[in-house]
């Protein structure tokens, strides 16, 4: 919950900062340690105020240029119907590729389960009396997609093996 509030607060603060050029954002820490961000220092604030000057030009990137799109071939240009086709693949190659795809899908799923990103899993319950994980909606849908990819790879391997 705290992570969600903090992310929402930061997002709102950054939206205001993005269109203001170089601006000062203030980090406010109250006597209980609660952190909030503001564009202005509130009057009679008794907590700690840390000014943060934001430079929108500090973190910029130049995107690489895409290669030019290929011109569509006209009739009579390019390879003939028999020249440009790949040779049929053997069943052994299909099985090998399907096994590799399944292995990659399982690794991706296991990695997501064992290494959730910050904010994807929160703990609910007593610290000493056992807690249970609660997944964010985006994390749950990501896991479902990866699990689906594993099932599809398993089915593809069965078809490649002839079963």
Confidence of residue 78 (pLDDT cuts 50, 70, 90): low
pLDDT above 90 covers a percentage of the chain that reads 11
| pLDDT for res 17 | 46
Q: Is the pLDDT of residue 151 over 90?
A: yes
- Neighbouring C-beta atoms of residue 117, cutoff 10 Å: 11
Q: How far apart are CA 64 and CA 84, in angstroms?
A: 30
What is the signed CA dihedral for 35, 40, 43, 47, rounded to 10 degrees? 20
| In the chain, where the domains are located | 2-54, 91-161
According to the model, what pLDDT value does residue 55 have? 74
With cut-offs at 50, 70 and 90, classify the pLDDT of residue 68. confident
pLDDT of residue 21: 54
Q: For 4-42, what is each residue's pLDDT tens digit?
A: 554 555 555 555 544 545 678 889 898 888 998 888 888
């Amino acid at each position: 919950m705290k992570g969600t509030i903090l992310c929402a607060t930061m997002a709102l603060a950054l939206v205001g900062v993005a269109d203001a050029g170089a601006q000062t954002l203030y980090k406010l820490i109250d006597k209980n340690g609660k952190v909030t961000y503001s564009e202005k220092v509130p009057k009679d604030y008794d907590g700690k105020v840390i000014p943060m000057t934001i430079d929108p030009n500090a973190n910029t990137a130049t995107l690489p240029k895409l290669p030019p799109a290929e011109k569509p071939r006209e009739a009579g240009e390019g390879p003939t119907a028999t020249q440009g086709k790949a040779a049929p693949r053997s069943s052994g190659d299909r099985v090998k590729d399907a096994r590799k795809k399944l292995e990659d899908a399982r690794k991706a799923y296991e990695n997501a389960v064992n290494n959730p990103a910050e904010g994807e899993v929160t703990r609910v319950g007593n610290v000493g009396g056992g807690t249970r994980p609660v997944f964010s909606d985006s994390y749950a849908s990501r896991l479902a997609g990866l699990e689906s990819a594993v099932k599809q790879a398993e089915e593809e391997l069965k078809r490649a093996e002839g079963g």
